[in-house]
Amino acid sequence: MSQDANRATTIAAVVTELDVPPATASLIVASFETYLASPLTANFAALSGRKLAKRNPMIYTARGVTSVSEWVRRVLDDKETSAIESHLGTWLEEVARIVSGGFKPGGGVDLQRDQPGSPHVIELYAIQSANNTKSAGGRNSDVVALRRGAAALRASRRRVEMYIGVLGGRATTAALGSDPNIVILGSDDFWERISGKRDFRARLLKATTILSPLVQQRAATHAARIAREAEAVFGDGRGNLDYDKLADPPSGRLRRSV
């Protein structure tokens, strides 16, 4: 199947899972590639087999790892997990903007969207990945940004509502203790509010399984190369780790395999 056909199939599956228009699904797929799959590919492209030993090998030998192949697989799995965690929040913020029809206005506010009607309301959102991802200083910066953004809009006689949206892990919605004019949205409430679907967060979780090949396919070629390089540097010639080399990696630059 061609790359275009694969992409069309992926977009169609996202349309079905998220119950969104094809144009919206296409933007979500493209943003997944831009904010998650591409950075992961860049990380793997810059990684060599020799560099795997920079992550303490004892983390793996203490768990019984003795073969080069298993060691490589586990280190790469950990690096992949770390990279995905690092970029996942950025992608989810972009998804929130796409499905809400809003935009990022700048000034520290993550999302602004208009709610036409009577009265016409402008909603401002600060977005965080989870309850524990912001320090007190970070939360205060969000509050200041929301207030500043709201003040500028209200100066034009516009009605503004302020929210802090938590992408995952928050069960309840409540007013911010220090400012009841700002509402902290529970995760399901946030996604329902911007998408119109109560189960959108669960739908999005399922959709990532549809998008996962975009990560796996991009990483596979580099993973095979890294494994060959690691075997050349740290293997004992029989597929097992050479602990002396692992403890004190040989000097010299490894010629990258192709």
Is residue 91, in this structure, part of any structural domain at all? yes
Of all residues in the chain, what percent carry a pLDDT higher than 70? 95
Is residue 92, in this structure, part of any structural domain at all? yes
Q: Which residues contact 23 (CB under 8 A, 6 or more apart)?
A: none
Q: What is the pLDDT of residue 256?
A: 46
pLDDT at 37 over 80: yes
Q: What is the pLDDT of residue 250?
A: 84
| C-alpha to C-alpha distance for 215 and 211, rounded to whole angstroms | 8
31: domain range? 3-209
Question: How many domains does the chain contain in total?
Answer: 1
Is residue 228, in this structure, part of any structural domain at all? no
The answer to whether the CB of 176 falls within 8 A of the CB of 183 is: yes
Is residue 196, in this structure, part of any structural domain at all? yes
| C-alpha to C-alpha distance for 158 and 143, rounded to whole angstroms | 19
Query: In Å, how far are 1, 87, 169, 177 from 141, measured between CA atoms?
Result: 48, 21, 21, 15
Q: What is the pLDDT of residue 255?
A: 46
pLDDT tier, 130 (very low <50, low <70, confident <90, very high otherwise): confident
Is residue 48, in this structure, part of any structural domain at all? yes
Q: Which residues contact 71 (CB under 8 A, 6 or more apart)?
A: 52, 57, 60, 65, 230, 234, 241
Is residue 181, in this structure, part of any structural domain at all? yes
Is residue 24, in this structure, part of any structural domain at all? yes
Is residue 187, in this structure, part of any structural domain at all? yes
- Average pLDDT of every residue of the chain: 92
pLDDT tier, 166 (very low <50, low <70, confident <90, very high otherwise): very high
Core vs surface per residue 100-132: b (16+ CB within 10 A) or e: bebeebeeebbbbbeeeeeeeebbbbbbbbeee
Q: Which residues contact 100 (CB under 8 A, 6 or more apart)?
A: 111, 113, 194, 195
Core vs surface per residue 65-86: b (16+ CB within 10 A) or e: beebeebbebbbeebbeebbee
To which H or E segment does residue 185 belong? Answer: strand 179-185
Angle at Cα 69 formed by Cα 67 and Cα 74, nearest 5°? 100
| C-alpha to C-alpha distance for 256 and 228, rounded to whole angstroms | 9
Give 171-198 pLDDT, tens digit per residue: 999 999 999 999 999 999 999 999 999 9
